[in-house]
């Protein structure tokens, strides 16, 4: 299975992930693979049966997956969002903020690097998919 870093307690969904087109076609599919160019809003009518969205990063500098994750969370999706592919550990914090809660990078992360990345920033300037309080709110209560 490879090294997956996971920030959820619920059971790992074990259905294989299918493509977005296939997921929409198969009423019992529960895991979907989102390619970088896919439009996750197409999942809106079937979000209820989705348990795992694997969002792929073909190259780390292709940042479309960050938007895909945020959009999924904004649609109300509370299941697992996993980042796969060319994922850099230094961006783990920002990916968590976008709603990613598991990571299966091509090159496994070093635990120390993950810890450093997740604890690096004491605050955030703006809202995201998480519930962290932005700095402006701390300033004004």
Among the listed residues 26, 78, 127, 133, the single contact to another protein using CB under 8 A: 127
Sequence-distant contacts of 100-106: CB under 8 A, at least 24 apart: 100/55, 100/69, 101/6, 101/7, 101/8, 102/4, 102/5, 102/6, 102/7, 102/8, 103/4, 103/5, 103/6, 104/2, 104/3, 104/4, 104/5, 104/54, 105/3
Regarding 97 and contact with another protein (CB under 8 A), the answer is: yes
Q: What is the size of the binding site for another protein (CB under 8 A)?
A: 39
Choosing from 52, 70, 85, 105, the residue that interacts with another protein (CB under 8 A) is: 70
Q: Which residues lie near another protein (CB under 8 A)?
A: 36-37, 39, 59-64, 66-68, 70, 74, 88, 90-91, 93-95, 97-98, 113, 116, 120-129, 135-136, 138-140
């Amino acid at each position: 299975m490879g090294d997956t870093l996971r920030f959820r307690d619920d059971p790992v969904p074990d259905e294989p992930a299918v493509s977005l087109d296939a997921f929409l076609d198969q009423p019992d599919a529960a895991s979907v693979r989102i390619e970088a160019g896919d439009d996750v809003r197409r999942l809106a009518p079937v979000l209820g049966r989705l348990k795992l969205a694997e969002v792929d990063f073909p190259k780390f500098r292709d940042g479309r997956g960050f938007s895909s994750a945020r959009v999924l969370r904004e649609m109300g999706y509370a299941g697992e969002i996993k980042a796969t592919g060319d994922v850099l550990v230094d961006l783990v914090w920002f990916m968590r903020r976008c709603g990613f809660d598991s990571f299966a990078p091509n090159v496994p992360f070093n635990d120390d690097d993950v810890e450093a990345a997740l604890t690096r920033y004491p605050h955030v300037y703006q809202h995201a998919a998480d519930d962290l309080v932005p700095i402006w709110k701390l300033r004004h209560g």
